[in-house]
Structure 1
Amino acid sequence: PTSVSSRVYVTIAAALVAQLHAAVATLKPFVWQWDSNDGAPAWLENAVRPAPAGAHNTPIGLLRRDPRTLSILWEDGHRDDFDVRDLRLACHCALCVEEMSGRKLRDPQTVRADVSPRQIVSVGNYAIGFDWNDGHNSGIHSFNDLRAMGERAAAQSVENV
């Protein structure tokens, strides 16, 4: 324990531990079957920590809270719960939103009340994509958009109190 080589190993080990603690926790790629929950991504509560500036949009967990609710745990410990129909209505792909004007092309009344994902897939380290039971599958939701959507919903619920 007091030899030079022993102290070198202790120093190396301490440096490795520090690097592990500093590393950003990220979800592994996944293909998640919503109804059966097969392939569900991790929920890394032990990775919650004060996030460095700009890192609050990194999810460290996704969870099927119930058949209608997708929960996202963010690196800073905040959790957003999304009704899956709201996510379907928020799709901004070219089939749902007019590219030049930003006008919504789909009337919310035409989206079934029981719409739900068949499958959710990771899209790189920046988004998730959905295959919906209404046949729609061309849109993705970036993590930045999901975090902003959660913040808007939280602000709106505060206004309604």
Structure 2
Amino acid sequence: MIYYLLALIVLGIDQISKYMIVKNMDVGQSITMIPQFLYVTSIRNKGAAWSILEGQRLFFFIVTFVVLVIVIYYMQKIGRFRPLLGLALAFVLAGTVGNFLDRLFRGEVVDFIHTVFGSYQFPVFNVADSSLFIGVVLIIIYILITEKKEKKNGSFK
């Protein structure tokens, strides 16, 4: 199925990019890509977004398993028939597996995309995080479109 292939491609990009960071940069090292905006900064994260729940490895394994079961279920049940939802679930799948593999094999997540907006420094993230974000945004769009169609057709409850 095309959505699993997309997930595999995004997962590959995620894992290759993290491998390159680990092999070629020291932790804390930063390379300027666009001054005052974009940097490649090698950091490690033992928690979730913004390092919350640091050290809760078992919790992350359980959550990952639950998310994967739900995503694969919806991919098989609905996603393969609804392109936008299938696309969204592919991105969620890739991001979930990408960060899971880091936790499983490294004990921590490799983050490296560092953006700055004026004096605000956004937390450093990676391709898997971006994939999760894109997937969630697409799910929200899918829900809003579906809800609008159901209201229009009078089948909204």
- TM exceeding 0.5: no
Give the structure with the larger strand fraction.
Answer: 1
TM-score (norm 2): 0.24
TM-score (norm 1): 0.24
Q: Could you say which structure has the greater relative contact order, defined with CA pairs below 8 angstroms and 6 or more residues apart?
A: 2
Give the structure with the larger helix fraction.
Answer: 2
